[in-house]
Chain A
């Protein structure tokens, strides 16, 4: 319907605007919208006649009408058509109201097939351009937080260069592809396929330390017209093996809908600062428990004696800068020798974590030019984004050009040509801070002042800091005492060394629409997503080459990548009325693509010969080089049949026969069918008037997932070795074993939904329920290496999921003061139904010597966290060891939670009053836990406020003395004296439990010993308390306060429209359960990585302003 009427309107408009009019009465007027803004391009028709015109850029029109009689019809897409009788008026000003029904009426579905919203038998969510850009997000994905039901967004910390994960309807695949397919103007684009199945940042501590981005960051939000989320299997079935995790269909902005030149300029500037920092204690400085302090050569308290004048006797003391634990002396401003050789006050540095970072900024300017003529329309846009994150040493800039044009070759033939060119530069992507949070050589000690680190990471000659052990390299500047070096290493990497990425990406598509005959259309499309990437790394020499022995330091490496996806499809469609009231549309077509990935990397080996000359020719040893190729071919035949009965009953069936090269030749093709139906019962039956609109829908479909390239083949890799026998080839099997009987994984999903609008469209409800099975789950099944490989790609079993999604929108108040609110809620449960024989659980994450695991067990919810519990006796009492600490039971596991949230969603509101508007978005995640081993290490190290407990009398420590047998003996009170004038300590604690023999525990331990041992790395610690935390939050995600300058004023300045707004993102938490970690700290593309923190980077908050102007 919508299609047809639009078409008719345009035809009429085109036809009549050029007609010669005959002299009659002249009517003038101005057409405005609800905000009193002029509406250009409105069609004005004299009812029942061919006479008509359209409004100009200021909304004015002039029309000749006979005898001052008749009726004027004002119509414009997206507005309710109004009829106004002329009644001899010379001026008719009209205000058009937006048509809530019409907006979003047409939805772009799979393969760019446009369908009416009301005809769909499955759920979709559409996000508008305004929602994507108003808060100044640098990419569209992070602007999706809380905006679409069932779509969970997770942004890796680190800012604009870090990847964003989009998860639609929970976990659809246990292995690789949990990211939706992205289709931009009909072309499938690269997200992160170039890394094969590995994704990015999934390896934790031992893998790539930089926080990587993904391909969707290149899609400029300012160029997006609409974004449609296709969620269920039926909605995405036409995409087959790429669509198991949903599809996001993006349409970029086209040329203006009205004739004449339009210019839009938008500017956003925002500051980014570190937020939600851990609650550190600021009382005690570095030092261990008494026994360890003594064993390292310090005093009981933790001071290290210092012999300043070299006479062999110590006359001063200093803190133990090597100590990772913070159980040492109180920081009271004492002047002490410092590790950099100076004398400094020993005082707490409460803000040192914050000072470790800087204040970043983001500036985005976007200018767009659009025009329309009889033959063509186009929009040309340019965007420049400059960004500096909160981590020191990094920055990014990106230039995006977008051209979207439509050429009308003839009445029957039109072509759409879209070109996106993205040029980006990134220097020193943020580093994960796991070397600081998950290494005992890290930790920002409570007494460490950031400025001292910043002054010492390099020497005055630009070499790396010099440790005391290597003092001969630079005796003057060598550090006086040993430190935990990871912070200096971090600064050296980020501030001295450089890794620069340059990327050019061109996404193009050309579409030919040809109307062959009545009801017959042919659409052909070719597209290309091409990326050329070059990365250069420069590592400076760490010490003068004079100190080189068999190798040098420093490095230069360069790598190049060339990734291309060539895409093509052809679709022939036919529409006809089969019988009265029954319209049939049939589509048949072909879709194919070839992906090609080329990577090449070269680097110096064993350092640089001449200091800081960055060239392969300066390599100390023979330079290294490597190259890899990958080709992927996928194609499919597809068809759809849709029936429309009386515009209230719709039925559609689709089928896709697909072929993919990533599956073994025996199993490389699949058929994916789907069927869906929509029934608008408010049009079929006479119903009470409060029910404005009601529809029920049902669908069923099959989609799939093929493995990434080259993971299933069984091959060997060859290396030429330079040996005593001359060059000899060595052949190695692979640690990830292939599987040539692998099958595609298939998702079967049924979905039911209800859409209603009640009370004159004031309240809208969209409710969906889905239930799916994913069979033949493909997984890199982790194996004990004793099988000969560490993993093998396998079909491992079946998971079942169901979920509810609810989207509510309401306009509680309308008029001059207008309030729109949209709420959404999604619940998803996924269980493992079965696994292949011999397998009863899958272990996704195994940490702390197997003491902490994230698993999927048959019959249970996936993502359960299991830990080694504290040992208990038959009566459930905790067993306390002879050392006074809990005994950990390593023979069994105890469930400690689940990493997946129970419910996610958001509430967004738009409140407008006259020229002011306020938009705010709150999103939430409720239920579920997070695994964070760094929190345990920091807790054991006494970093946090909550580790003050037991340390002294004020914090609940027990009084005791140490007897001659080194036993700690409790004293009745803190004022009691120890026998023989011994020392009384106040940091005792007595754990509640029994000894191995069953007697109540009487072994007193000191606080430091308790924390350091109970929350140390490994399986002997109390992981449930230390490493598993509840993770729920309600967050103020986006806040935008906007002001439209009055039209009169704007026009004086030659603007058609001028708007200024204040924007804020990630402003604060209304509530959160994690106190020493940001709930959104996790990084990584694997689903389970979203529940695991291993030290990423600080969370941020940003705020700034935005100006939108159009001419």
Chain B
């Protein structure tokens, strides 16, 4: 009896557990916290949610403040023997954030490929309504890819992102920088045509966390981006560029641009974001006002932006804050020990505008930049009034920075926008006024663009600085052997050398810090 009882129990247990096991086996292969369903809209939002575009702690602290911010002097920096040496780990990060998902950067390439794959898998009937995502995603990817080229030169591009496109590993070749630019420029021209007649869908309006599906804004963005990149290559390929830019500028109905402040393309922070840049900038001692900008450019012109770009700073004596009497920048050649000892004597970045502002947007494209591009085009090739758009650009830049100051989340006092009279005085000051030879005028356009970009668009600023060689900055030599001066491009991250070595061999000779990007010919 007992024996039978035991048999029954064991057999029942064995069978129930076996059937249970069989079902679990396949279910348990997939992570219940994740999904296997691709979503074009979800990928698109992920691409836009980019803390490399928004001024975030990580990007400013590890990338901008130690690389392009230094090379353009749009930020001050601590003197050290390694001050011009790129930080390999951080630069690797910046590279990765374009190509792969995760972390800060949105993984533009990976998710664009994922969108391409998901789009191709859609039934034909659904493709039409999804195309707007594909086109918009392509523009975002192109915008970021152009920055990759500006930083490194040749990059993996046409074959990049194979895993997300086809699920296979294809070690991508490095495409020539010119070729990448050509692909981007052609693609942007196509996108411009597409958006001219595109319709937003409710889903696109929801998932587009940058422009809320505003097709007119997308048109302006695409055309302005094309203008920026065409101008970047204008010293290499002046004939074609001149022709294409003239076509854009002469047909505003077909090619609307971001030429009014209301059209600025900004990426708003997430609504629950409350961080700010104070730590990012103070940790590396980059919050003092950069000397050349304040002393050589802004002060001589009595620039109204000084009030919103910088604080005078000062010392606390007996628990009372005693501000400095004037805006004065810390000399670039001060030794690192003296920098820390005397920092309180010098102006710092504006605390309301930059340091304690959790409303700072990511700056994608501004009217001021576009009008400065126009000014350069008109100056070089005619077709418009350079002085008029130059003045407009400065006006827009002043408005832009006052707006950042006035919308700051900081409780510190805000500055009043200068009056029209004050603006005119500024525009007429000799170092700003649109006078002189063509070279002098271009120098003013480029210097003002450098001021306008500041550190918020440090990557663009570094590109334009290398393209135009303006403003004429001087750098104190560093004492680290081989790193005496700033580089003219970034070195490739070691992961490409390590894991994509065959293709890396083809660009190894170009992988030097003194290499020049193809548009850098001056």
Contacts and interface: CB of A to CB of B under 8 A. Distances in A.
Interface of A: 206, 288-289, 291-292, 294-298, 304, 320, 322, 468-469, 471-472, 475, 481-482, 514, 516, 522, 524, 549-551, 568, 570, 590, 592, 594, 606, 621-622, 627-633, 635, 659-665, 668, 709-710, 712-719, 721-726, 728-735, 737, 781-790, 792, 794, 838, 843, 846, 849-850, 853, 881, 883, 885, 891, 1009, 1012-1013, 1016, 1018, 1020
Interface stretch (B30-38, B134-142, B218-226, B231-239): B30-38
A785 B96 contact: yes
Contact of B171 (A714, A784, A1013): A784
B21 A659 contact: yes
A1013 B481 contact: yes
Query: Looking at chain A's contact residues, is the secondary structure mostly helix, strand, loop, or mixed?
Result: mixed
A627 B85 CA distance: 41
6 contacts: A713-B29, A718-B42, A722-B270, A724-B268, A732-B107, A787-B160
B26 A661 contact: yes
Contacts of A721: 45, 49, 209, 270
A713 B31 contact: yes
Given A733-B110, A1013-B481, A550 B28 contact: no
A150 B336 CA distance: 55
Question: For chain B, which range describes its interface: under 10, 10 to 19, 20 to 34, or 35 or more residues?
Answer: 35 or more
Interface stretch (B161-169, B254-262, B363-371, B380-388): B161-169
Given A295-B335, A846-B495, A715 B42 contact: no
B409 to A, nearest CB: 7
Given A633-B28, A661-B26, A1016 B480 contact: yes
B399 interface: no
Contacts of A790: 96, 100, 495
Contacts of A1009: 481
A286 B246 CA distance: 61
Contacts of A783: 163, 169, 171, 499
Contacts of A206: 89
Given A549-B410, A550-B276, A631 B28 contact: yes
Given A709-B28, A713-B30, A725-B209, A730 B337 contact: no
Nearest to B278: A549
Give the 3 A-B CB pairs with smallest separation, nearest first.
Answer: A731-B42, A297-B335, A661-B28
A539 to B, nearest CB: 15
Contacts of B43: 731-733
Contacts of A1018: 85, 88
B508 interface: yes
Given A549-B356, A788-B162, A291 B479 contact: yes
Contact of A716 (B37, B95, B268): B37
Given A788-B161, A891-B508, A730 B45 contact: yes
A1046 B226 CA distance: 96
B67 interface: no
B10 interface: yes
B26 A733 contact: no
A792 B335 contact: no
A606 B100 contact: no
Contacts of B418: none
Contacts of B270: 721-723
Contacts of B479: 288-289, 291-292, 295
Interface stretch (B200-208, B290-298, B447-455): B200-208
B494 interface: yes
Contacts of B99: 785-788
Interface string B98-131: 0111110001011101100000000000000000
Contacts of A662: 28-29
Given A295-B79, A850-B497, A787 B271 contact: no
Nearest to A1017: B82
Given A206-B89, A288-B81, 19 more contacts: A295-B479, A469-B343, A522-B10, A590-B14, A590-B18, A635-B21, A668-B26, A715-B36, A718-B34, A723-B268, A724-B271, A729-B45, A781-B169, A784-B172, A788-B100, A788-B161, A838-B171, A850-B494, A850-B498
A627 B34 CA distance: 12
A789 B495 contact: no
A839 to B, nearest CB: 10
Contacts of A713: 29-31, 34, 36
Contacts of A663: 29
B210 to A, nearest CB: 9
Interface in B1-40: 3, 6, 10, 14, 17-18, 21, 24-39
A787 B169 contact: yes
Given A730-B46, A846-B495, A592 B337 contact: no
Interface centre among B18, B42, B343 (most CB of A within 10 A): B42
B419 interface: no
Given A732-B107, A790-B96, A715 B35 contact: yes
A1111 to B, nearest CB: 40
A816 B96 CA distance: 71
Contact of A717 (B17, B34, B79): B34
B156 A784 contact: yes
